[in-house]
Amino acid sequence: MSNSTLNIVKIGGNVIDDDIQLETFLEKFAAIPGKKILVHGGGKIATRLASKLGLEAQMVEGRRITDKDMLDVVTMVYAGLTNKKIVATLQKYLCDAIGLSGADGNVIKAVKRPVKEIDYGYAGDILADSVNSLAIKKFLDAGFTPIFSAITHNGSGQLLNTNADTIASALATAMADHYEASLIYCFEKNGVLLDVNDENSVIENITAKDFTTYRERGIISDGMIPKLQNAFDAIHKGVKSVYVGNASNLHLFQQQKFGTCLVNK
C-alpha cells in the first residue's frame, strides 16, 4: 500500500440543494491538500423535478424506489445537472475535477437489487469487486479529482441508481488497498445527534454497538441508518477513519475536530 493519504468525501442532504452552502463547501473541499475524491447525491433536487413531471417519489428507510421513469430523472439530475455544476465550481477554485458515473471508465459496476419484501426497482447494489480501484488510481495519479454521482451500471448497458453513501463506503474500502484512506460524510447536521432538535448534542465517538442501541431507541433513524451502516462496513474493511459532520465545518477535519468519529471496537 502507498504511504500517501486519500480523503473520500461524501456531500448530501440540504447542502446540495442550497447554491450558497454548496459553493462554500466546495471551496473548502478544493483546499484539502493531497489526493481526494468527492461523492454526491442530489435526491431532493431529483424529487422536485420528478414532482414537476408528475412522478411521486417513494422512499423506504431512506432508500429510494427507482422505477424506469424515476431512473431517467435521477440520471439526469445526479450524473448531469448536479455533477457538472459541482465540477464547474471546483474548477473555479483551481481543483481539476472530473465528473464520473460508475459507467465512465467502467469504474463502478453494480447489480440490480433482488426483490425480497420490497421491490426497489432499478436500484444498484455494490459487490466486493465492484470498484475498479486501479482505474480510479490512474485519475488520481494524473492529478484529477474524481467527482462521483450516484449512478452505476451493470456492465450490460443498464444504468442503476445506487445510494451515494454506499458508493462512498465502497470507494473508501477499495482505495484503502492503495492509500491510507479516510471517509468523511458531510451534510447539514453537526454530526450524529442524541437529539435531532439540538445541534449541540453531537455524539463525538460512536461504536457499532452504540449504533445498534441508538437505532433501537429511535435516536438514529431514516437516512442516517444506511449512512452509518456503510460507514461501519468501511471501517471493518480497512478504512482508517470515518467522520460524519457539518459540511460548513469541513476545514476542521484537518485538526480532527470534525463532527462524529466512528470507532472500531
pLDDT tens digits for range 52-108: 999 988 888 767 899 999 999 999 999 999 999 999 999 999 999 999 999 999 999
Does the pLDDT of residue 229 top 80, yes or no?
Answer: yes
Domain boundaries, the chain: 5-263
155 is in an annotated binding site: no
pTM of the model: 0.91
43 is in an annotated binding site: yes
In the chain, the N- to C-terminal Cα span, in Å, equals 24
12 is in an annotated binding site: no
Does the pLDDT of residue 141 top 70, yes or no?
Answer: yes
CA distance 29 to 42: 17
pLDDT for res 3: 58
Topology of the domain covering 5-263: Carbamate kinase (3.40.1160)
215 is in an annotated binding site: no
pLDDT digits (tens, 9 = 90+) for 77-88: 999 999 999 999
Residues sharing a CB contact under 8 Å with residue 153, sequence separation 6 or more, in sequence order: 101, 102, 103, 108, 109, 110, 124, 159, 160
